[in-house]
Structure 1
Amino acid sequence: MNALVDFVVRLLGDAIQMPGLFGEVALADPLSPLIMAVGTVFVVTAVAAMGYPLLGALGIPLPRLGRGPDDKIE
Structure 2
Amino acid sequence: MNAFGGFIIRLLSDLIEMPLIFIEQVIGPNPISIVLIGVGSVFVLASVAVFAYVVLGALGVPLPSPGRGPGETIE
Letter in 1 for 2:23: G
Of stretches 36-45 and 53-62 in structure 1, the one that deviates more from structure 2 is 53-62
Quote the residue 1:52 is aligned against.
Answer: 53
User: For 1:57 and 1:12, how far apart are their aligned partners in 2?
Assistant: 38
Root mean square deviation, CA, Å: 2.8
Identity %: 51
Higher-Rg member (1/2) = 2
Q: After TM superposition, where is structure 1 displaced by more than 2 Å over at least 4 residues in a row?
A: 8-22
Unaligned runs of 5+ in 2: 1-7
Tell me the TM-score normalised to structure 1 length.
Answer: 0.68
Tell me the TM-score normalised to structure 2 length.
Answer: 0.67
Of stretches 12-21 and 61-70 in structure 1, the one that deviates more from structure 2 is 12-21
Number of aligned residues: 70
**Shift in CA distance, 64/22, structure 1 to aligned 2, threshold 3 Å:** same
Does residue 22 of the first structure (1) align with residue 22 of the second (2)?
Answer: yes
Quote the residue 2:69 is aligned against.
Answer: 68
